[in-house]
Structure 1
Amino acid sequence: MPYVVRDQDGQVVAVAEVPLSEDAEEVPIDHPEVLALLSRACAADLADGDEAFVNSDLSFIRVLEDLIEVLIRRGVIALSDLPGPAQDKLMQRRALRGWLAGVVGVVDDDSGKVI
């Protein structure tokens, strides 16, 4: 789990693998304040012109996700062959896609449809 450092107002200002100070606080990786800090950092990177690179990464992640699903369906690998955190992420993505398909009736398959 990562460690966070807070400013005098209690806002998370740093995330590290090791405690950076005596008052560093250990939190789960998916802690809302950690995610917010990372989101702000990504937004700053996008402002610096990295948008095309980030979009490429997001598209490639979808390719990898689809590839893993095909390998599982064909019996080449089993979900249980993957490390626990990878299994959790895949299951979260499956649940999210199922939820989106049920709520909206459309799952974006790179067809240009936006929810």
Structure 2
Amino acid sequence: MFYVQRGADGKVSGVSAEPPASGEPPLPANHPDVLEFLLRHGDQETTAAALAATDTNLARVVEDLVSLLADRGVILFTDLPDQAQRKLLLRGRLRSRLGDGNPLVDGEDAIL
């Protein structure tokens, strides 16, 4: 979680691990505002951390894309390599298990 400071234009002007005087709530590392700031002002290590923070979201996009293409008959799920099928099925089961009434998972699978 990061605390951000915003300029008059509303854009992030600073990121900190400590709460700012403004009292703005913390944002997760994968929040677009945090990522944009880190990409503009971060060093290579910070940029690598920002990239890693997007991995979970991208994995979900790929899962949804595969599901959509399979549902529409563009691809057959069974045409995917066995390892890919197993990973997608496992993630689907895990998401389903966590999502059923779990207050720690929001609608986009982010753990709160």
TM-score, scaled to structure 2: 0.50
What is the deviation of 1:56? Answer: 2.1
- Identify if the C-alpha distance between structure 1 residues 70 and 83 changes in structure 2 by more than 3 Å, giving closer, same or farther: same
Q: Give the CA RMSD over aligned residues.
A: 2.4
Gap regions ≥5 residues in structure 1: 1-47
What is the deviation of 1:57? Answer: 2.5
Partner Cα separation in structure 2 for residue 106 and residue 73 of structure 1:
29
Deviation readout 1:29-54 (Å, 9 max, x if unpaired): xxxxxxxxxxxxxxxxxxx4222110
1:20 corresponds in structure 2 to: none
* Counterpart residue type for residue 73 of structure 1: D
Matches within 5 A, 1:22-101: 48-49=45-46, 50-101=48-99
- Identify if the C-alpha distance between structure 1 residues 78 and 106 changes in structure 2 by more than 3 Å, giving closer, same or farther: farther
Greater helix content: 1
Partner Cα separation in structure 1 for residue 105 and residue 71 of structure 2:
19
- Identify if the C-alpha distance between structure 1 residues 104 and 75 changes in structure 2 by more than 3 Å, giving closer, same or farther: same
Task: Say how many residue pairs are matched.
Answer: 67
What is the deviation of 1:93? Answer: 0.8
Partner Cα separation in structure 2 for residue 59 and residue 72 of structure 1:
20
